[in-house]
């Protein structure tokens, strides 16, 4: 695992899986880390240079104060700078999709294509945001076991979450509060998606209980060069992990066509 420190002093950890193929940045979901992308590394790491980033407040990347997903987008661009990569495709699931869209808006010349899975360009619904804030405070005050199974169900559906819930139990309270604030207090970017001219592939699970398929349909309609929406039957919210066998052929085809 490599680490770069941004001009603002933020350390950012990442895994460069190497290879001579075109560069693809992989951005994980809320509460996850770079290892979430193991199925994709196995499936098409031979064809692309896959770079998986621990986003701020996740994995080995700390969060030392409040931040938003624009800050995380800048962190990822700093990783590309550190690796000497001028441009890359960016693939993100859920929260990773928030960051990917912001990268394309901040530095369009650095992003060659977008893969967006289980994500939204809207702000969080106010009532849901309030419930998530309350969930975080219960987690902090009473311990993770009071809510962790419910969180795993939202994120991973029926997928075996034991590897991940073990990691979640180790998250410090203030870190959880910071990453939850960034997640649910974000502003929407839907009205700006017309600025993004890169080819895009949007995938969404029909069993996603965090974001309705309508959120994906909005993104496809707003992005000028999006392919038709791909829905994954019974796919959960973090479908790049839970339904990797369904997702990977679409991602490999799309990336091969545009890189």
Please tell me the distance from the alpha carbon of residue 104 to that of residue 102, in angstroms, as a whole number: 5
In the chain, domain spans: 2-123+187-258
What b/e sequence results for 211-243 when a residue is b if at least 16 CB atoms lie within 10 Å of its CB, and e otherwise?
Answer: beeebbebbbebbeebbeebbbeebbbbbbbbb
State in words which class domain 2-123+187-258 has: alpha beta
Please tell me the distance from the alpha carbon of residue 192 to that of residue 37, in angstroms, as a whole number: 28
Phi, psi of 221 (to 5 degrees): -65, -30
Q: What is the pLDDT along the chain (259 residues), one digit of tens a residue?
A: 899 999 999 999 999 999 889 999 999 999 999 999 999 999 999 999 999 999 999 999 999 899 999 999 999 999 999 999 999 999 999 999 999 999 999 999 999 999 999 999 999 999 999 999 999 999 999 999 999 999 999 999 999 999 999 999 999 999 999 999 999 999 999 999 999 999 999 999 999 999 999 999 999 999 999 999 999 999 999 999 999 999 999 999 999 999 9
What's the pTM?
Answer: 0.97
- Can you spell out the DSSP letters for 45-71? TTTSEEEEE--TTSTT----S---HHH
Please tell me the distance from the alpha carbon of residue 131 to that of residue 140, in angstroms, as a whole number: 14
The confidence score (pLDDT) of residue 1 equals 87
Torsion angle of C-alpha atoms 192, 240, 37, 17, degrees rounded to 10: -70
The confidence score (pLDDT) of residue 86 equals 97
The tokens of 16 are what?
A: 């460069």
Closest CA to 179 of 140, 212, 150: 140
């Amino acid at each position: 695992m490599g680490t770069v420190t941004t001009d603002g002093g933020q350390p950012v950890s990442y895994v460069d899986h190497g290879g001579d193929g075109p560069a693809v940045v992989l951005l994980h979901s809320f509460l996850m880390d770079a290892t979430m992308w193991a199925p994709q590394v196995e499936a098409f790491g031979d064809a692309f240079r896959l770079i998986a980033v621990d986003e701020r407040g996740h994995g080995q990347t700390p969060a030392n104060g409040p931040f938003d997903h624009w800050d995380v987008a800048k962190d990822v661009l700093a990783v590309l700078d550190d690796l000497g990569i001028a441009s890359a495709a960016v693939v993100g699931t859920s929260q990773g999709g928030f960051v990917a869209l912001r990268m394309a808006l901040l530095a369009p010349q650095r992003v060659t294509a977008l893969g967006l899975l289980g994500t939204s360009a809207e702000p969080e619904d106010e009532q849901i945001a309030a419930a998530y804030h309350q969930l975080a405070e219960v987690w902090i005050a009473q311990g993770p076991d009071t809510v962790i199974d419910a969180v795993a169900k939202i994120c991973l559906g029926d997928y075996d979450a034991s590897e991940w819930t073990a990691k979640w139990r180790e998250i410090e309270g203030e870190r959880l509060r910071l990453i939850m604030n960034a997640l649910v207090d974000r502003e929407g970017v839907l009205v700006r998606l017309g600025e993004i001219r890169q080819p895009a592939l949007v995938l969404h699970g029909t069993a996603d209980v965090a974001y309705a398929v309508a959120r994906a349909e909005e993104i496809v309609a707003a992005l000028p060069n999006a392919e038709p929406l791909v829905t994954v039957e019974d796919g959960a919210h973090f479908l790049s992990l839970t339904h990797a066998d369904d997702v990977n052929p679409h991602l490999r085809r799309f990336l091969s066509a545009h890189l």
